[in-house]
């Protein structure tokens, strides 16, 4: 059964929530993420899962962000660091922290 995660991202001056939806087909880039485009500069994109991180695609060669330590086995209240790699939106570019708020 596919899962969805709600993740709070916080920089020193702001916070934003992203949502990740697992694809029912377990192939790379079939899962997707979404967020407020005013905050992230885009609506979302594909997700690439690795053993140590979750990479949020941007539709270009540069990922939108990388969530270190976030995997499909993460639990509510788990947290870690992230890096916003694309420019645009009101959420700060560069380093941030993330916390898993909910799983459905």
Per-residue tens of pLDDT for the chain, all 104 residues: 689 999 999 999 899 999 999 977 766 668 999 999 999 999 999 999 999 999 999 988 899 999 999 999 999 999 999 999 998 999 999 999 999 999 99
* 30 φψ region: left (φ > 0), alpha (ψ -120 to 50), beta (else): alpha
Which pLDDT belongs to residue 100? 98
Domain count, the chain: 1
Cβ–Cβ < 8 Å for 49, 72? yes
Which residue range is the domain that position 96 belongs to?
4-103
Predicted TM-score (pTM) above 0.85: yes
Nearest 5°: the CA angle 102, 33, 40 is 100
Output the pLDDT for position 97: 98
């Amino acid at each position: 059964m596919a899962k969805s995660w709600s993740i709070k991202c916080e920089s020193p001056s702001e916070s934003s929530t992203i949502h990740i939806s697992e694809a029912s087909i377990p192939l790379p880039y079939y899962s997707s993420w979404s967020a407020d485009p005013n905050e992230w500069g885009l609506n979302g994109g594909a997700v690439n899962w690795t053993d140590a991180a979750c990479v949020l695609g941007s539709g270009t060669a540069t990922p939108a962000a990388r969530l270190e330590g976030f995997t499909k086995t993460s639990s509510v209240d788990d947290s870690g660091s992230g890096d916003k790699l694309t420019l645009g939106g009101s959420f700060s570019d560069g380093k941030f922290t993330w916390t898993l708020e909910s799983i459905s």
